[in-house]
């Protein structure tokens, strides 16, 4: 009863980001400039082991939005892939089928598990894909993703429901419920408290909502929502998480030289 009451309280207080942060989302262009200026920094990040990384774009976005991220991943020694599903608009059973097929192809061709990186809605899809096929997923990293079951945390809810209905096809089939429950693989949520699209509280993972004894963590950065995919601090955290040997997960600790990029995370 207490847990149920807490959930109701959380749902009642869910709200989208303050309008100020939404109006300031244009600062993502500044972050893009910093991304290119930080190119020498990226060359010093931990190198990868060559495993496949699949990137999933945010709502209304396409593979072009993850090109800068994938270029960094390629330089670090990974095998990065965009998704095979065009623009991220409709969340239906056909999309889930395509994602499952692509994940299976990548895992089968490499003989190794695949890491998933999803931006905003792409992170929700990545987490749900990992729940369906944990045997094929190495880890999941979400960027500013609305992983709460309450769409009140995002100001894109009306547009999403206009295009997908209040219950998209996967939900009608019993899936995509319990979005706040982490998949049974190591899962990292990168969020910013100045997010202008998804309220940061809607992106926070809670350890007690993990499927089994699998690690979850939250990493706070200074960023806009639209800049998360190019923000230099996100690249630092992403490279650190991906470079961990499989099965040897440890919580994120910013490297001393980059500690200034990461505020101390408070999720209450």
Q: What average pLDDT does the segment 187-195 reach?
A: 97
| Whole-number pLDDT of residue 163 | 94
Residue 8: pLDDT over 70: no
pLDDT digits (tens, 9 = 90+) for 198-250: 999 999 998 776 666 689 999 999 999 999 999 999 999 999 999 999 989 99
Q: Please check whether residue 51 is in contact with residue 113, taking contact to mean a CB–CB distance below 8 angstroms.
A: yes
Confidence band of 69 (pLDDT split at 50, 70, 90)? very high
Give the model confidence (pLDDT) of 145-179 as tens digits: 999 888 889 999 999 999 999 988 888 887 888 89
Task: For residues 54-69, give the mean pLDDT.
Answer: 97
Asked if residue 9 has pLDDT above 70, the reply is no
Would you kindly state where each structural domain of the chain is located, as residue ranges? 47-245
What whole-number percentage of the chain has pLDDT above 90?
Answer: 81
In CATH, the architecture of 47-245 is: 3-Layer(aba) Sandwich (3.40)
Note the pLDDT tens digit of each residue in 91-107: 999 999 999 999 999 99
pTM of the model: 0.92
Q: What is the pLDDT of residue 7?
A: 39
Q: What is the pLDDT of residue 10?
A: 44
Q: Which residue has the higher pLDDT, 109 or 149?
A: 109
**What integer pLDDT is reported at residue 212 of this predicted model?**
63
């Amino acid at each position: 009863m207490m847990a149920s009451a807490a959930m109701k309280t959380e749902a009642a207080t869910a709200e989208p980001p303050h309008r100020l942060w939404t109006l300031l989302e244009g600062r993502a262009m500044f972050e893009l400039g910093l991304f290119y200026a930080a190119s020498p920094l990226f060359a010093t990040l931990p190198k990868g082991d060559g495993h496949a990384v699949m990137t999933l774009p945010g709502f209304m976005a396409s593979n072009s939005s993850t090109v800068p991220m994938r270029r960094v991943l390629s330089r670090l020694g990974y095998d990065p892939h965009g998704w095979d599903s065009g623009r991220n608009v409709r969340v239906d059973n056909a999309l889930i089928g395509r994602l499952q097929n692509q994940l299976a192809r990548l895992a089968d061709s490499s003989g190794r598990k695949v890491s998933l990186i999803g931006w905003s809605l792409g992170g929700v899809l990545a987490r749900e894909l990992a729940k369906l096929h944990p045997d094929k997923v190495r880890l999941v990293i979400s960027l500013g993703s609305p992983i709460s079951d309450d769409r009140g945390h995002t100001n894109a809810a009306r547009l999403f429901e206009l295009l997908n209905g209040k219950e998209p096809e996967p939900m009608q089939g019993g899936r995509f419920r319990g979005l706040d429950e982490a998949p049974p693989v190591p899962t990292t949520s990168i969020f910013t408290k100045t997010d202008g699209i998804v309220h940061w509280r809607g992106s926070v993972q809670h350890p007690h909502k993990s499927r089994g004894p699998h690690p979850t963590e939250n990493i706070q950065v200074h960023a806009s929502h639209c800049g998360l995919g190019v923000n230099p601090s996100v690249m630092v955290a992403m490279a650190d998480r991906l470079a961990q040997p499989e099965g040897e997960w440890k919580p994120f600790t910013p490297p001393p030289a980059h500690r200034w990029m990461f505020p101390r995370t408070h999720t209450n």
